[in-house]
Structure 1
Amino acid sequence: MSNVTLEIAGRKYTIACAEGEEPHIEMLGASIDKKLSELDNLVGQSPERILLYASLLLADELHEAKAATPSPAPPAADAETAEKLEAMADRLETIAMQLETGASAS
């Protein structure tokens, strides 16, 4: 385990993380701090409230990003499966016709 010290809204927080994750955690902390620096009227707010604002802003951005992402196209396997099912249906129809012809000839 490793520790990273982040400065967010002028306060320092020490966070435990796995070895090698330090740069990523520092980048996330910087992102939160930047988001909060864009807000006015945070002076006098409790650390909890400040972090709540940051969480809400980032959650809103994530929500908007997910909503803007187009739905993926159906996998190519679906078209291939449909073709196979159609071929099987054709074969079953042929077999059914042969059975009907054979049954009426008897």
Structure 2
Amino acid sequence: MAEVQLIIGGRSHTVACRDGEEAELEALGRRLDRHADAAARAAGSAGGERMMLFIALMLADELAETERTRGDGDGNVAAVLQHIARRLESVATALENGPVQL
């Protein structure tokens, strides 16, 4: 099992992943970090968990817009959003409790 250091919103987080998945996880971390400044402003002083919620909402909005422009059905969007929600819950757990396998 590998561990990856992600920097999201200026905070370092250690996340475990399967060997060989490090680059993908690092890319996902960079994607989250691109939204961190706006999410931190939206969250105010509420802290990291609320900031991650706003990042999740921004990513969900991007996904929904992409699905709308592609003309995919609503059922597919809902399934993808549920998948994203499960992944974000894993990230939140990692942030709160230390390394977990995603």
TM-score by length of 1: 0.59
Q: Output one character per residue of 1:58-91: Cα deviation in whole Å (capped at 9) or x when no partner.
A: 01101110111145xxxxxxxxxxxxxxxxxxxx
In the alignment, which residue of structure 2 is the partner of 1:18?
Answer: 18
Higher Cα Rg, which structure: 1
CA distance in 1, matches of 2:8, 2:47: 12
Q: Output one character per residue of 1:17-68: Cα deviation in whole Å (capped at 9) or x when no partner.
A: 1111111111110111111234562553311001000001001101110111
Contact 2:39 2:54 in 1 (8 A): no
* Unpaired segments ≥5 residues, structure 1: 72-106
Local SS of the residue matching 2:46: coil
In the alignment, which residue of structure 2 is the partner of 1:58?
Answer: 59
CA distance in 2, matches of 1:40, 1:20: 31
- Aligned identity (percent) is 37
Cα RMSD after superposing both structures: 1.8
- Structure 1 pair 22–35 and aligned structure 2 pair: CA distance change class (3 A): same
Runs of 4+ residues over 6 Å off in structure 1: none
In the alignment, which residue of structure 2 is the partner of 1:35?
Answer: 35
Select the structure with the greater relative contact order (CA < 8 A; seq sep ≥ 6). 2
| Bigger share in helix | 2
Aligned length: 71
